Amino acid sequence: MQGTAIAQPNIALIKYWGKRDVERNLPAVGSISITLRELFTRMQVEFDKSLGTDTLLVNDTPDEKMLPRLANCLDRVAGADRPRARIVSTCNFPIAAGLASSASAFAAVTLAAAEAAGQSLTVDQLATLAGRASGSAARSAFGGFVELQNVDDGIRCRTIKEADDWPLSVVVAITEKGPKAVGSTEAMEICRQTSPFYSNWVEQQELDLDVARAAIASRDFEKLAVIAEHNCLKMHSIMWASRPPMVYWNAATMRCLQTVRQLQGQGIGVFFTIDAGPQVKAVCLPEQVGDVEAALRATDGVTDIMTTGLGEGARLEGDA
């Protein structure tokens, strides 16, 4: 009655923002992401008939906040009449701060729960179930460059290029460690209901996906850089224009963008992307990592740097 799984977070280059079905958590748009290698969430799930309630430990500390969403996830995998579970999570990066911690958490817990319940999931089932909990978690079922497409009644994820076929690096500049003020589900709904740019965003997404897909297929870094930055800033402009406005950035976030622009001015292959939080992810060619790390580390307000390559999809511990 026990299972343990590991999943890595992923960073979207063409973003998912907005839902077409809130109840089933289906995204309004497709997206393309990269799965990271060095950042991870490990989830251990143990069903125990003697437990009166589910429990969750995150990095050795009891956590009530995340428990309801994880419990719902276990219900979807093992049925609402399942035994209560002991969930133990270990994560080596800041949680709920715009670093896609929910993506790796829900991909890992889904897989671990299925193992604990004696089920074996196909990777498509894993993506669908994880995606019910967190849209971006579906993509962490896969490694490398991953595209999530909307299909009639659901989603379909695929690796469109393996990590080894284009081994890019990501330097994450941490500018703040606290959890974000507004969760992504609530923020997306505010945008859908109030932002004057939202419908335009949904309409244009296929064009951005086409450009990014082609750039990835031909390993055209420049082309990917331009479309990824455009798509990121477009997503944030929807948030800035919504009512109430949502600005996830801080002053250091902006300074990191300037640092990336300066690096680009020196001919360094790097681009930025930012999710629903103040951290900046600088995607670069592996040979540029040293320069990018040094420049971001020297940027005022950056408290920490994490560097990672591209990694694989969620897996059971022992399968790696």
Rank residues 116 and 173 by Cβ distance to ligand PMV and give the closer one: 173
Asked if residue 63 lies in contact with residue 41, where contact means CB atoms within 8 angstroms, the answer is no
Binding piece for ligand PMV, criterion CB under 6 A, among 55-63, 134-142, 163-171, 279-287: 134-142
Decide whether 16 or 249 has the Cβ nearer to ligand PMV. Answer: 16
* Token pair recorded at residue 252: 């250091």
Helix/strand/coil for 262: helix
> Taking the complex as a whole, how short is the minimal distance between the CB of residue 17 and ligand PMV, in angstroms?
6
Of residues 17 through 76, those in contact with ligand PMV by CB under 6 A are 17, 31
What is the size of the binding site for ligand PMV (CB under 6 A)? 14
Q: Which of 5, 6, 7, 12 binds ligand PMV (CB under 6 A)?
A: 12
The answer to whether residue 195 forms part of the interface with ligand PMV (CB under 6 A) is no
Q: What gap in Å lies between CA 61 and CA 268, rounded to an integer?
A: 42
Among 107, 276, 302, 306, binds ligand PMV (CB under 6 A): 276
Regarding 275 and contact with ligand PMV (CB under 6 A), the answer is yes
Q: Which is closer to ligand PMV, CB of 227 or CB of 295?
A: 227
Q: Which helix (H) or strand (E) holds 35?
A: strand 31-35
What are the CA-CA distances from residue 141 to residues 62, 110, 133, 154 (Å)? 26, 10, 13, 16
Sole window of 12-20, 44-52, 168-176, 283-291 interacting with ligand PMV (rule: CB under 6 A): 12-20
Query: Least separation, in Å, of the C-beta of 102 and ligand PMV?
Result: 5
DSSP 3-state of 19: strand
Paired tokens of 247: 């600005």
Interaction between residue 132 and ligand PMV (CB under 6 A): no
Binding flag, residue 135, ligand PMV (CB under 6 A): yes
Is 136 a residue that touches ligand PMV (CB under 6 A)?
Answer: yes
* Dihedral angle, C-alpha 152, 155, 159, 160, nearest 10 °: 40
Q: Which residue, 303, 298, 259, is CA-closest to 282?
A: 259
**Cβ(96)–Cβ(105) under 8 Å?**
no
Site string for ligand PMV, 71-100 (x = CB under 6 A): -----------------------------x
Please, what's the largest Cα pairwise distance for the chain?
62
Measured CA to CA, the distance from residue 4 to residue 27 in angstroms comes to 28
Contact pick of 89, 104, 134, 140 for ligand PMV (by CB under 6 A): 134
Query: C-beta of 25: minimal distance to ligand PMV in Å?
Result: 8
In whole angstroms, what is the distance from residue 154 CA to residue 210 CA? 20
Q: Which residue has the tokens 């055209």?
A: 220
Residues in contact with ligand PMV by CB under 6 A are: 12, 15-17, 31, 100, 102, 134-136, 184-185, 275-276
